[in-house]
Amino acid sequence: MLMRNDHFREFDRIAQRLMENGRPAAMAMDAYRDGDDFVIHFDLPGVNHESIDLEVERNVLTVRAERAGLRREDLELLVNERQTGTFTRQVFLGDTLDTERIQANYADGVLTLRIPVAEQSRARKITVDHSTPDQGRTVLPEQDKSAIRS
């Protein structure tokens, strides 16, 4: 059986909950680039996948999820440290990302989003042609040479 023994810690926890009242809780996030995709991981332990809501509007990605608490009349809570309620996070996406092709997967309490870089924003190689010195020059008639000044 678990027993409470630190009354000051419990008081701090209650004060923190009172200050957070009415405000959505934050969720931890990692983001990185993997080739031509940006990948974002959100920690959402204990969240039912059906409560996850993703929305993109004007390059702002909003993630909302809800975790229900233990609310039963026959339970006597001894320790109640896990956050419950609505979790929200907004991420500003660059114009170079293709928000029409976002892929989302939720596994083991982690929501993973893969956002491809837009085709027109991807790095591409430009070939440089090679020619001999005379091949690359345009020869102007004698009267047009006076128009060129260095």
- Per-residue pLDDT reduced to its tens digit, 22-55: 454 568 999 999 998 999 999 999 899 999 999 9
The whole-number pLDDT of residue 1 equals: 41
Tell which wins on pLDDT, 81 or 13: 81
Token pair belonging to 137: 């020059």
Res. 95 pLDDT band, cuts 50 70 90 = confident
Could you tell me the two tokens for 44? 């959402």
Task: Name the pTM for this structure.
Answer: 0.65
Tokens 């004698």 map to which residue? Answer: 142
58 vs 112, which has greater pLDDT? Answer: 112
pLDDT for residue 138 is more than 90: no
